[in-house]
Each structure stands twice: as C-alpha cells, then as structure tokens.
Structure 1
Amino acid sequence: MTESARPDRERVVLAHRRGARRVRTRVEVQEQTEVGEVMVRALVRAQLGLAVRVAGVVALVACAIPLLFAAFPSLGDVAVWGVRLPWLVLGLAACPTLLLAGWLYIRLAERTEQEFVDLSEE
C-alpha cells in the first residue's frame, strides 16, 4: 500500500469514552469484585455510623428526661390537666421524638445511598 492510500489512523483512548468508568464500577459492584466489596463495605459502614449516631442522640434525649426530673424534683409534682408532668413528657414527647428520629434516619440513609449510586455511576 502506498503512503497516500493508507487510511488515517484513529487513536481510541478508553479514558475518553463516556460511560466506560460507570459500567466498570457497576460491574465491579454487581460481580462482587474486591473493589466492589470495598465500596459496598464503605456504604454499610457509613449507614451503620449514621444509625449509631441517631440512636445515640435518641438515647441521650431519653436519658435526659429522668435526669431532669431527678435534678429538679419539684417538676415531678407539677400537674397539667390532672396528670403529672413526667407522665405527660413521656407520653407526649416520646412518640414524636422517635418518629422524628426515624424520619431523619431514613432521609439521611437515602442520601447516603444516592451518593453511593452517584459515585458508582461516575
């Protein structure tokens, strides 16, 4: 072949192809390769840390209520609508606090999962 008849050479570089990294990362997670396992372990660790922090805050709030009434015993004698204040606080504040903690945990866990998905699709 003569030099003028040769077709122009085209250099293909894998790093410049769109979607190459995304497919590779997704395959690593799906096929449970070492990199995929590390990524999944990091996700599980992040969600476990989140669960421990939310549970810790709930435990602190739950323990603070009896400590508050122990520190100020006169609060235990206060009655509202014929019901003593400690029972009102435990009955009316505990459920909304737990619901709020559950809602917050779900919201933050979903954000963590979305960040994981975004990372695996880059």
Structure 2
Amino acid sequence: MSVEPVPRREVVTRSPRRSRRTVAGVPLAADDGAAPGAVQLRSLMRSQLRSSLVSFAVLAVPTGVLPLVLALATPSTGWLSGPSLAWIILGFAGYPPLVLLAWWYVRRAERHEKDFARLVKGG
C-alpha cells in the first residue's frame, strides 16, 4: 500500500504580486530594467510634468497680480468701484479662466497618455 503525501500547507497573507503593471491600458513588464518601456514611461512623466508646470505658471501669474488689481480698485463714486468691483473680480472673473485652464490640462494629459499607449504598442 502506498501512502499519498499530504500537500504542504501554505499561509496566505496577501494577494499574489503581479509581474506586470499597466499604464494607460498598456502592460509594462516589471522586470524589463532599462528597457525601452522605461524610457517611454520617463518621457510620459516628463511631458506631464511640463504640462503641469505650464498650467501652474498660468495660474500663478494672475493670482500674484490679483492684490495689485484689487489695490487699484480704489473707492470712488458709482456702483462699479471699490468693494463692488473687488467682489466681481473675486467672485466671478477668476472662474472662467480657471475652468479653461483645467480643461486644457486634462486634454493635454489625455493626449500624452494616448501618445504613450500608441508608442508602446508600436503603432
């Protein structure tokens, strides 16, 4: 009579690690080292960093000039001066450029990811 060996017990403490990552729906091998995929990924990160720095600069310049604009809105006669003008500038004038800047940034980020995915797939 042969005795079947008892399977070794295994303790599971976490989900198994996957050997592949995905960026923008494109699989990247984790063990490629300095493969072309890593170079392309660095290029994607640089282009997204460049877009974020441009959008930050475009946002920082008007925000930095805003105290000067509000200081020049000195009180005088009329409803469109002093505090009324300051409230219009603070409450309404800043939002349309902010929304346009956010729209531009999202479009650029999506374009960078599409270019990256096309480059990695080889198409």
TM-score, reference length from structure 2: 0.63
Could you tell me how far apart the structure 2 residues matched to 1:58 and 1:95 are? Answer: 11
User: Could you list the runs of 5+ residues in structure 2 that have no partner in the other structure?
Assistant: 1-26
How far 1:85 moved relative to its partner? 0.8
Q: Which amino acid aligns with 1:105?
A: Y
Matched, 1:99 2:99: yes
Query: 1:4-23 residue pairs with structure 2 within 5 A?
Result: none
Residues 117 and 85 of structure 1: CA distance in aligned 2, closer, same or farther (over 3 Å): same
Offset, 1:117: 1.5
Q: Is residue 78 of structure 2 the alignment partner of residue 77 of structure 1?
A: no
2:51 corresponds to: 50
Give 5+ residue unaligned stretches, structure 1.
1-28
- TM-score normalised to structure 1 length: 0.63
Equivalenced residue count is 92
Task: Say which structure is richer in helix.
Answer: 1
* Matching residue's letter, 1:76: T
Checking the alignment, whether the CA contact within 8 Å between 1:77 and 1:85 is kept in structure 2 is: no
Which residue of structure 2 aligns with residue 17 of structure 1?
none
Alpha-carbon distance, 1:116 to partner = 1.1
**How far apart, CA to CA, are the structure 2 residues paired with 1:76 and 1:112?**
45
The alignment-based identity, stated in percent, is 33
Distance 1:64 1:81, change over 3 A: closer
